[in-house]
Chain A
Amino acid sequence: MKVRIKFSKTGVMKFIGHLDMMRYFQKAIRRAKIDIAYSGGFSPHQIMSFAAPLGVGLTSLGEYFDIELRTAMDEEAIKERLNQVMAEGVAILETTALADTAGNAMASVAAAAYEVTFAEGTVLPDGWTGQLTAFLDQPQIPYHKLTSKVSRMLDLKPLLYDSKVTEEKVYLLVNASSADNIKPIFVMKAFFESIGVTISEHSLYICRMETYGLNGDKFVPLSALTE
């Protein structure tokens, strides 16, 4: 039996990296006494697949991973048992049985929705909401991706599917697939650079609201993609 698990990661847990979250859940599943299936070989590991990695510093209300059980178990019971052994800041939101034919969590990811808010005391220029809306409406959104490994120009536009800008927060729906994903911070950085404003990365709070897969040509939450 395959089960898809949706969880939230908030509070201080945002400082725990992706690999450590995987290790955390491996132990949690053992504490919860869920009869998970193991791979073969000399060092067997739990059969578990995570959707889209979440960067350190981000919170999320829509994280996913799939597990395979050795003996079938009621989905609600899995949720309850896991919630009894969670650390503060991680909560199991939904557990859904998957059809055997369903694609795994990671391969299914197409997009993710984010909400960007600002730390208290962050000073933004007057009229920034209008400027940002105009910036996002351009036919092309150039961004210079610069890391220790890469330096290249990207066009963010085709990877940005939807957006909504208000004084309090910015909503962004972007590509999150393993092939083409972009980070919401890219969009915000590109915007602030374009209007010549320097804002510390640390004054932006970014929360992933949901992770989506494709059903036909429609984005649906991974929890609804069970076939």
Chain B
Amino acid sequence: MRKLALKDEYLLLAEKPARYIGNEINSIQKDKETTAIRMALCFPDVYEIGMSHLGIQILYDMLNSWEDVWCERVYSPWVDMDRIMREASIPLFALESQDPIREFDFLGITIQYELCYTNILQILDLSGIPYYARERSDADPIVIGGGPCTYNPEPIADFFDLFYIGEGETRYRELLDCYLENRKQGGSRDEFLLAAARIPGIYVPRFYRTEYYPDGTVSAMKPLAEGIPARIRKELVDDVSHTCYPLKPVVPFIKTTQDRVTLELQRGCIRGCRFCQAGYLYRPVRERDVDVLKKYAITMLENTGYEEISLSSLSSSDYSGLAELIDFLITECKSQHTNISLPSLRIDAFSLDVMSKVQDVKKSSLTFAPEAGSQRLRNIINKGLTEEMILEGAATAFEAGWSRVKLYFMLGLPSETEADISGIGELANRIAAVYYETVPKEKRNGKVQIIASTSFFIPKPFTPFQWAPQATKEAFLDKAYLTRKSISSQLNQKSIKYNWHETDSSVLECVLARGDRRLAPAILEVYRKGCIFDAWSEHYRHDVWMETFKENDVDISFYTTRERADDEIFPWDFIDCGISKEYLRKEWHKARSAAQASSESEQLVTPNCREQCQGCGAASFRTGICVLDKNI
């Protein structure tokens, strides 16, 4: 019987003890005496969130498929257990072996959102690993960062020994072999890191120095060692149909956010929405072979016993084998009582037909993400969704029985005017009107429900809007107020509900997303003042963040509301995600001139990758859509 790291009484005091005991179906036990490398993979948030992440499952499966590696999992102890572990001085442990993280060779942390940065420090702290990489000894694990936030790792660069930039499937074997070789030679930590820095995709922050102009902007990023690249190019899988995939994913005992089999259809997105970081980072689009996916689906359902399967990708409607795959799944799943969940589908006749087959129309809702209230602004952000498409989709859906619509918008997009904001209420109103026009009184099931939600725009690295200023907190509040006013002045206002996201954390997210190395001391200070779980609004303490920035002479407006010059060197420019800065600048200029245009017809929009290649730079990877005959 496995011995747990936590005593019974601690576990029984905690909210959900199952978060800390491991033992899940398909979790991997190995003999630590006979495995050369021990790796702990961490998602720095609570278990239910972390366990829902596909990336960790992929790496867990791949690393454990190697005989000489035992890969385990660790998540942020929730605040109740955090307190218990501190009071009782219990070091953070991995779920499988229940051994302290500090005994491991590697601690790999996936960094999915900026608001988890203090949780990274919590993980290091509870593990007894020094915060700053330069203070670690040979006895400490090598701390690796991966995931989307590593495309600007600079604010947290000092806390990591190395970052793996890009998709994890490609370079881990090489990295681990390099580690084993160094150990055989009796090499030091620094010697390993130097060797690692020569592996493609690996960024070792200590071997680079950032220099600044007097105005605070970056003047240069210089490699400090021989033979390491000045720019780090992202890693990616060439052929996503022939790579590893977790066919026996770990099945949690408790309900998690994604409590189902996840089938990843493709990587990347053909659409060039100018605010969307994922749309640029994961180019080019690479589709998984539909026959491979069919096989995966059956095997994963058998190996887990899940009652639900979910299709995952940035834009599932763009997957070319979608109709065939869904037909297959519907036939397969009906007999097995398996549910199918279909997020991120564009609403059209095809998707409505499919959705009506797999879900209860009365209970489910339609989702549109127009992102902006007016066609003018949608053109500026290159969101290829028109009002006609939305109204037509809604009409078809209402006829088929739907009566709930969710709408997602962003406030504070570049060049936004009051008219654009009023457009949100007007669009919602028009959708409601369509309902009352298409559905005769006797067929109505009460009022139509329109739920409009707004979040605040956060400019992100590697998007055309990386140059754009963010609106101030005060402006955000005004915009939310205007939105509310525009909705409540509509004829159908009683059918429309309005939700908005908090402003405070959107400001912080912007600082961290476009920050540089000078932020690290402030982040550590905020953590020391007791902040963790910033992504959870009930734990987020904006005043502490702002006060600490001030104490550390960080002027947040430098990162948020400042408009960047065209030729400014960004802290993340040394990372090469495959998209050229020139291309992003061209898109930024296109957006700006679209904002000046006197009519919608004069606004230039950018076609998607399938319509016409725009030469963004991703073709240099020579794979996916870039090498297909894509002009239709």
Contact = CB atoms under 8 A, between A and B. Distances in A.
A172 to B, nearest CB: 20
Contacts of B255: 20, 23
Contacts of B339: 43
Given A11-B2, A24-B253, A88 B23 contact: yes
A17 B16 CA distance: 9
A31 B303 contact: yes
A38 B337 contact: yes
A57 interface: yes
Interface string B334-355: 0011010000000000000000
A117 to B, nearest CB: 13
A31 B253 contact: no
Contact of B1 (A17, A87, A88): A88
A116 B360 CA distance: 49
Contacts of B23: 11-13, 87-89
B246 interface: no
B337 A44 contact: yes
Interface in B1-50: 1-2, 4, 7-9, 11-12, 17-18, 21-25
Given A27-B306, A85-B25, A20 B12 contact: no
Which of A12, A24, A31, A44 has most chain B Cβ within 10 Å? A12
Interface string B352-391: 0000000010000000000000000000000000000000
B323 interface: no
A190 interface: no
Given A13-B23, A38-B337, A88-B2, A57 B12 contact: yes
A85 B307 CA distance: 16
Contacts, number: 74
Contact of B307 (A15, A16, A26, A42): A26
Contacts of A27: 25, 251, 304-307
A16 B253 contact: yes
A28 B8 CA distance: 26
Contact of A30 (B12, B17, B307): B307
Contacts of B12: 15, 56-57, 202
B302 interface: yes
A47 to B, nearest CB: 12
Nearest to A24: B253
A12 B4 contact: yes
Given A31-B305, A56-B12, A12 B337 contact: no
Contacts of B18: 15-17, 20
B82 to A, nearest CB: 18
B575 to A, nearest CB: 41
A17 B253 CA distance: 9
A24 B2 CA distance: 20
10 shortest interchain CB distances as A-B pairs: A27-B305, A202-B9, A30-B305, A15-B17, A31-B305, A12-B21, A11-B1, A20-B253, A16-B253, A57-B12
Interface of B: 1-2, 4, 7-9, 11-12, 17-18, 21-25, 251, 253-255, 301-307, 336-337, 339, 360
15 contacts: A11-B1, A11-B2, A15-B11, A20-B18, A27-B307, A30-B305, A30-B306, A31-B303, A33-B302, A38-B337, A56-B12, A56-B17, A57-B8, A87-B23, A200-B9
Interface of A: 10-13, 15-17, 20, 23-24, 26-31, 33, 38, 42-44, 56-57, 85, 87-89, 200, 202
Given A15-B17, A202-B8, 14 more contacts: A11-B1, A11-B2, A11-B23, A12-B22, A20-B255, A28-B25, A28-B305, A30-B302, A31-B25, A38-B337, A43-B360, A57-B8, A200-B9, A202-B7
